[in-house]
Structure 1
Amino acid sequence: MERRTFLELLAAGVITAATATAAGFLVPRLIEDKNAAGFGTQGSPLPKMARDDTVYPTGQPFVFDAPSITKIPVPYGTINAIPEFPGTFALTVDDGISSEVVREYTRFCKRTGMRMTFFVTGQYPSWADNASALRPLVESGQVQLANHTWSHPSLLKTSDGGVTDELGKTHDFLFKTYGVDGTPYFRPPFGNHDARVDSIAARLGYTTPVMWHGSLSDAGQITPEQLREFAHKWIGEQRIVIGHANFPAVTQCFDYITELIQERKLQPVTLNDLFLKA
């Protein structure tokens, strides 16, 4: 099997990193669990990115406009695509290990009008560090914030009370810091959930677990070239695609992602753009 095909199957979740290793393929090192110091601490220190203080002229046209969509009731239960909305594409970005990557995503959205949904892991300082810059985009509806738990455990291995605490702490953080209610959307870490987890989440108002149809595969460190390959493969009509605000490769791919969305004549959307909130 060719290396590219193998990596595409890995991104889609059809095979695992262990299978890839056994087959002799070198795959990106993924962050797969948390340790005593917290999820993601296994990664090497992030390089400091050059600060861009460009002030974009008032009234400069956005690349992407706000959508004109007739909303439908929010789905109850798991979603992994948006088949009801031809021409749309939903980028969803998890975690937030890197404050600088969250900052660059914020600048990207401000510069282009890109619409996207962050699934916030509340323990990371990035969300407080970038609140002043991100809050106006959240208030306007261009960027949506949803719940990715507080410390990124596998909820299948977490007690009932622990699931409540994980979702509840990030829920409270989003309200206190951004003034938003993260319900009804949550993304279980690693995609791990079952009927028990969903029932507990639903009692808190989180009735819609959000999975994905494709991945940028950047939870761990990969190269910009690899990320562009995954973007080319998975960004498409009616797809929910997952990325991560963890490592800087994606910040070198924003122009490529913008051009890809334009070439494919896609309308970027948040989940709130599509669904009526009960």
Structure 2
Amino acid sequence: MRVWAVPLALLALAVCVTCSVASHQQKEPPIAPYKAAVVDPAVLAKRLVSMQYGSGWPRSRKFDCSKLKCVALTFDDGPGEYTARLLDLLRKRDVKATFFVIGQMVAADKGGHLVRRIVEDGHELGNHSWSHPALAGLSHDAVQRQLQHTNDLVFKLTGVRMHIMRPPYGSTNAAVAAEARQEGLAEILWSVDTLDWLHRVPAAVTRRAGEAKPGSIVLMHDIHRTTVEAVPAILDLLARKGFTFVTVSELYGRTPSPGRTYTER
């Protein structure tokens, strides 16, 4: 979460994660046209077959989280300059996570190298809107554009259709949920907020992530260096407590249902 978003974020936290934003509609940030680099069809087809993308993506490792102490680590607002380092750390520990990406950030990474690496490393992708507005304050058409533009760009770059989304600031209402359903997206909130965007101290991020319970969804942001620096300690701490690291879909043992809202298992 960006620093400029602090006032709105604090308001969202104070009310509740499914807060309603004031009834008047806010002005939607402009969505600039973007021509995605097209993946070679032969290469994309090979990926689709070998990695089972599409409706079966990401491939589940078939954890039974009704019996295991599962936790889903999630990262918002990227991909950014620290995402590659985070992916290195997760790969070294064979940990899979869920990345809720912003369309503008994906577009800024020319060629889509980071979002493709997220997919190729076996992580789950989720839609975090195009430009990070509070969706509950937008018109129906604006919410649709925010979700569709990001969905379309990610698909052009990776061949993946995302099945989950996270509304920025947790700002959602019945209209946002209905549009998410229309786009085939489940709303994924969280049960553990590390507040890593506010307190840029790795030890503090680790301590808050360590409050996870079986079935928790942990909120972090891969755009912050201090968060990435905290990840090894977070993995060590939760591993000592007997946790198994899973993606959001693995946490539920299936793809979450479009339009429904999830905060933990």
Q: TM-score, normalised by structure 2?
A: 0.68
Alpha carbons of structure 1 residues 130 and 68: separation in structure 2 relative to 1, 3 Å: farther
**Residue in 2 that maps onto 1:171:** 151
1:199 and 2:178 aligned? yes
CA contact (8 A) 1:95 1:246 kept: yes
Which residue identity lines up with residue 88 of structure 2 in the other structure?
R
Structure 2 segments unaligned to the other structure (5+ residues): 1-9, 17-25, 32-59, 258-265
CA contact (8 A) 1:110 1:137 kept: no
Give RMSD over aligned pairs: 3.1
Displacement, 1:236? 3.0
**Residue in 2 that maps onto 1:45:** none
SS of 1:169's partner is: helix
Which residue identity lines up with residue 87 of structure 1 in the other structure?
K
Displacement, 1:247? 1.5
How do 1:1-278 residues align onto structure 2 when only pairs under 5 Å count?
A: 13=13, 67-69=61-63, 84=66, 86-96=68-78, 99-125=80-106, 128=109, 131-132=112-113, 135-139=116-120, 142-183=122-163, 185-206=164-185, 208-220=186-198, 222-232=200-210, 234-273=211-250, 274-277=252-255
Taking every aligned residue pair, what percent have the same amino acid on both sides?
A: 26
User: CA-to-partner distance for each residue in 1:171-228, whole Å, 9 max, x for gaps?
Assistant: 0111011211112x1111100111111111211111x211111012123451223222
Alpha carbons of structure 1 residues 266 and 215: separation in structure 2 relative to 1, 3 Å: same
Alpha carbons of structure 1 residues 133 and 211: separation in structure 2 relative to 1, 3 Å: closer
When structure 1 is superposed on structure 2, of 251-260 and 153-162 the one drifting more is 251-260
Distance 1:176 1:272 in 2: 22
SS of 1:181's partner is: coil
Which residue identity lines up with residue 193 of structure 1 in the other structure?
T
Displacement, 1:36? 6.9
Displacement, 1:245? 1.5
Which residue identity lines up with residue 112 of structure 1 in the other structure?
R
Alpha carbons of structure 1 residues 186 and 134: separation in structure 2 relative to 1, 3 Å: closer
CA contact (8 A) 2:200 2:227 kept: no
SS of 2:105's partner is: coil
CA contact (8 A) 1:175 1:181 kept: yes
SS of 2:81's partner is: helix
Which structure's residues are more often helix, by fraction?
Answer: 2
User: CA-to-partner distance for each residue in 1:100-120, whole Å, 9 max, x for gaps?
Assistant: 221111111221111100011
Which residue identity lines up with residue 145 of structure 1 in the other structure?
L
Structure 1 segments unaligned to the other structure (5+ residues): 1-9, 17-32, 39-65, 71-81
SS of 1:150's partner is: coil
Distance 2:195 2:82 in 1: 15
Displacement, 1:239? 0.3
Alpha carbons of structure 1 residues 197 and 167: separation in structure 2 relative to 1, 3 Å: same
Distance 2:140 2:209 in 1: 36
